[in-house]
Structure 1
C-alpha cells in the first residue's frame, strides 16, 4: 500500500505499514484522498535530521485528523477529537533514511495530544532519538535523490526554507480502507497554497537572468504602468490601462488659418468622419496647428494615413500619424463648442464659454461690413437687484417705436404714475 508525492524537488513513493499501523495509515490515506496535503509546504527542514510537512498553516501548530476534518465539513454541529492516539510499534524504528513518521503533538491545557496530519521524513540513518516518541508508519522506497535535494536547501534560523518546497500533488497508488460514510471528496485539487507564504515561490528562480534587451523591455513596461497609474490618480487618464484608439489620426504642422471644416472636407473622401477637431489654445483661442480626426472605420483611417502624408494644405505640408493620445476621452480638455461642462456638456472655446462668446461677437462684425473695434456692453449684465441693465449706447441705438412701446407697457405706466404722485407731494410741501 503506497502513495506518490509529487514535490517541487522531485517525486517520492512511500510504502505504508497498513498491517501494523492500520489507524495511522487510514488517516494518512484519507487525508491524501481529500487533497489535504496538496500544496502544503515543508515548513521545518533540519539538515541530516528530518523534513516536516502536513500543516496547512505551515506554522507547526495546525493540522487535524481525517475524522476531525470530516466532522468540520458537515453542516450539523458534529464534534470530533482533533487528534487520535498514536500507534507506536516498538519494532518500527527510525533506522534508515526516508523513514516516515506521524508527529505526536503534546497535550496542551485540556486538549489531549496525539497524531493529526503532520508527518516528517528522516534525512539520515540511525536517528534513535525519535524511537518511541513518534509513530513510524511508512518508508520512502523511491526518490532518495529527492531527499538529498531537500537536505541541501537553505533555511532560516527556524528551519523554514527560504525558497518554498511544496507537495504539488498526491496520488494514491493503493488504498485498502473503505471511505467513511460522511467523507466527501472535493471535485478538484486546490490551486492556491493554504498558507500565506512570503518566501520565494517554489516555481521561481531567484538567480535567473534575462538578456539585456528583455530586462530593458520589462523595466520600461513597469515604468510605463507606474506612470499610467499616477496619471489616473491625478485625473489625467480615465483609467490606467487605456489604449489609444485605432481609428483616430493625428495631423500636425497645420497652417494657423486651417479650420475644422476645412480638414473634414479634405479627409472626408476616405470615409465617414465622426469628428474633426483642430486643437486651440484655451486662453487665446489660437490654433496650436495640430488636430485629431476620428473615422468611423479603422480601414478608412489607414487609407488616409498612407494617402495624406506630406500633402499640401493651406500652403503647409502636413504630417499624419496614428493618434497616441487618450486625452480626447476626457471631455474636460476639449475645445469643441459642442462639448460643454455646464449642464450636460462641457465646452465653450477651449473649455471657456466667455471666449466662445467673444469669438462669435468678433465673427459677427458690424452691419456696415467693418469689423468691430470696440466691445461696449455686448451682453446684459445683472445689477444688484437681479435685473438686467443695458448700456446707454444700446438704448440710444434703439428704434424710437420700440422705445415708445416699452414706455407704454403697464409696468412703465405704473412707474410714471408713482413718480408723478411723488412730484406733486413735494410741490405741495414746498408751497406750505
Structure 2
C-alpha cells in the first residue's frame, strides 16, 4: 500500500505498514484521498534529523488548528479531531525516511498520546529520540533526492524554510480500507484557499527559475501577458470591463478598410452566404453619420464565422480590398452587462432627490390613506399630531365663538399684564436716574402737564430776568 506525495522539490513515495499500524494508515490514506494535504507547508526542518508537515495552514497562520483526523473532518465533531495513537513495539526510528504521525499527550491523561493529521519524516539515521513521541506507520521507498533538498533548505530561527516547500498533490496507489460514511473524493485537485495563500512567504524554486531556459521572444510574450492581465484588472476596477477575465465573442468578425459608401445591407448580403447573420453594423461617426470604414458582423454560430474569415480575406468590395479578423472588442458585452446592472440598481432604488415621496415618511410610520398620491410637497404630520388643530375647527371650517372669545380674553389679559409691568419698570429706572442727577430739572411742561415745544425758550427768558435783577 503506497502513496505518492508530489512536492515542490520532487516526488516522494511512501509505503504504508498496514499490518503494524492499521488505524494510522487508514487515517493517512483517507486524508490523502480527500486532498486534505494539498498545499500543506513543510516546516520544522531540522537538518539531518526530521521535518514535519500535514497541517493545511501551517504554524504561520493564526487560524490554524493543528490539523484534523479524517473522522473529525467528516463528522465535524471537535471531540473526534484527534484519536489515540497506537505505538507498535517493533517499530523504531532507526533509518532515514521513516514516516510517523506526530502526537501530543492527552490533557486528562499524560501517558496517552493522541494524533490528528500532521506527520514527520526523518532526514537522518538513528533518530530514536522520536520513539514513543511519534507513531510510525510507513517509510519512504522513493524520492530521497527530494528529502536531500529539504534537508539542505535554508530555514529561519523557527526551522521554517525561507523558500516555500509544499505538498502540491497526493496520489493513492493502493487503498485497502473501505471509505468511512460521508467521504466524497473530489473529482479534481482543489485550488488553495485564501487562508493558505496568505501563508506564502517566497515562491517555490520552480517558480523562481521558471524563466531560466526561455528565449527573449518567449519572455517578451509572457511579459505582455502579465501586463494585459494587470490592465484588465485595472479596467475592471474602473468599471470599463464587467470582469477582468472577459473574452471577446467567437462568432463576431471585424471587417476594416471599407469604402465609405459601403452600407450595412451590402455587407450583410455579401457575408450572408456563409451562415445566418444576427447583426451587421458599419460603425459611423455619432455627429456627422459618416462611415468610419470598419464594421462588426455577428454570426449565429462559430463555424460560420470561421468560414467567412477564411474566405473573405483581401476580397474586393466597392473598389477596396477589405481586411477581416476575429473581433477583439468586448464593448457590446460590457454595455449589456452595465445596462443590466444599472436596471437592477434602479429597481432597488428608494429615491434620493427632493420631492420624492419616499423622503416624506416611511410607510410603516403612516397609515396608507394618509399618503398623498399627487406630485406636490406634503406635510409629514400624522393624525395624532394634527388632532389638536382639527378639534379647534367647526363643521363649517370656522372656529367656535366660545373658544375664540376665551382665547381672545386670555391674550388680552396677558398683554395688559405685560404693559403694566413695563410701565412700572420704566418708572423705577427714571426715578433712579433723577436721584443721581445734580443738574436742576428743566421746566418744560405747561400747566396741563404736557410738554411744550418751546420749553427751551421759557428757560432762556427766566435766566435773562435773573441777570437783570442782579444788576
Alignment TM class, shorter chain as reference? 0.5 to 0.7
Aligned partner (choices 321, 328, 335) of residue 323 of structure 2: 321
Does the CA contact (< 8 Å) of 1:38 and 1:189 recur in 2? no
In the aligned structure 2, how far is the partner of 1:224 from the partner of 1:87? 56
Identify if the C-alpha distance between structure 1 residues 86 and 34 changes in structure 2 by more than 3 Å, giving closer, same or farther: closer
**Pairing partner for 2:224 from 214, 220, 225:** 220
5 Å-filtered alignment, 1:188-267, equals 188=186, 191-192=189-190, 196-197=196-197, 198=200, 204-209=206-211, 210-231=214-235, 234=238, 240-243=246-249, 246-251=252-257, 254=260, 258=261, 263=263
Alignment of 1:172-191 (within 5 A): 183=181, 185-188=183-186, 191=189
| 1:83-121 deviation line (CA, Å, top 9, x unaligned) | 3155374x7543332333332214559998533332212
Structure 1 distance, partners of 2:51, 2:123, is 7
Q: 1:48-63 counterparts in 2 under 5 A?
A: 48-59=48-59, 61-63=65-67
For residues 304-359 of structure 1, give each alpha carbon's deviation from its aligned partner in whole angstroms, at most 9, with x where no partner exists.
653326x54xxxxx563337574873899xxxxxxxxxxxxxxxxxxxxxxxxxxx
Structure 1 pair 153/275, CA: closer, same or farther in 2 (3 Å)?
same
Q: Is the 8 A contact 1:42 1:164 kept in 2?
A: yes
Rounded Cα–Cα distance in structure 1 between residues aligned with 2:168 and 2:330: 50
Corresponding residue for 2:12? 11
Corresponding residue pairs, total = 304
8 Å contact kept, 2:101–2:119? yes
Residue 292 in 1 paired to residue 292 in 2?
Answer: no
Cα RMSD, aligned residues only: 4.5
Q: Does 1:307 align with 2:315?
A: yes
**Corresponding residue number in structure 1 for 2:376:** none
Gaps of 5+ in 1: 20-24, 313-317, 333-432
Q: In structure 2, what is the Cα distance between the partners aligned to 1:329 and 1:302?
A: 24
Confirm or deny that 1:168 pairs with 2:172. Answer: no
Deviation at 1:248, TM superposition (A): 4.4
Paired residue for 2:24?
Answer: 28
Contact preservation (8 Å) 1:253, 1:289: no
Could you say which structure has the larger radius of gyration? Answer: 2
Contact 2:49 2:124 (C-alpha < 8 Å) held by counterparts: yes
Q: Which residue of 2 aligns with 1:105?
A: 104
CA shift for structure 1 position 45:
2.0
Normalising by structure 1, we get a TM-score of 0.54
Contact 1:249 1:293 in 2 (8 A): yes
**Cross-structure match for 2:42:** 42
The equivalent of 2:285 in structure 1 is 280
Does the 8 Å contact 1:70/1:183 carry over to 2?
no
- 1:157–1:319 distance in 2 versus 1, CA, 3 Å: farther
Structure 1 position 34, deviation (Å)? 1.6
Structure 2: any 5+ residue segments left out of the alignment? Answer: 336-471
Deviation track 1:104-156 (CA, whole Å, cap 9, x = no partner) reads 21455999853333221221123354344444455445554443233223444
Q: CA deviation at 1:275?
A: 4.4
Name the structure where helix makes up a greater proportion of residues: 2
- Aligned mates of 1:82, 1:308 — CA distance in 2: 77
For 1:201 and 1:28, the matched residues in 2 are separated by 32
CA contact (8 A) 2:254 2:294 kept: no
Q: In structure 2, the residue corresponding to 1:196 is in which secondary structure?
A: helix
CA distance in 2, matches of 1:236, 1:325: 15
Partner of 2:362: none
Offset at 1:47? Answer: 1.4
| Distance change (3 Å), C-alpha of 1:88 and 1:330 | closer
Cα distance, 1:13 vs structure 2: 3.5
Deviations 1:164-223 (A, max 9, x none): 232733546585xx769x555534576135771425676943212222111212222333
1:94 aligns with 2:97: no
Q: Flag the 1:300–1:232 CA change in 2: closer, same or farther, 3 A.
A: same
Question: Is the CA contact (8 Å cut-off) linking 1:94 and 1:127 kept in structure 2?
Answer: yes
> How far apart are residue 270 of structure 1 and its match?
2.5
Contact 2:282/2:291 (CA < 8 Å) preserved in 1?
no
CA distance in structure 2 between the partners assigned to 1:173 and 1:286 by the alignment = 72
Secondary structure of 1:31's counterpart equals helix
Task: Tell me if structure 2 keeps the 8 A contact 1:35–1:170.
Answer: no
Q: Deviations over 1:368-418 (max 9, x none)?
A: xxxxxxxxxxxxxxxxxxxxxxxxxxxxxxxxxxxxxxxxxxxxxxxxxxx
Q: Work out the CA distance in 2 between the residues paired with 1:219 and 1:142.
A: 38
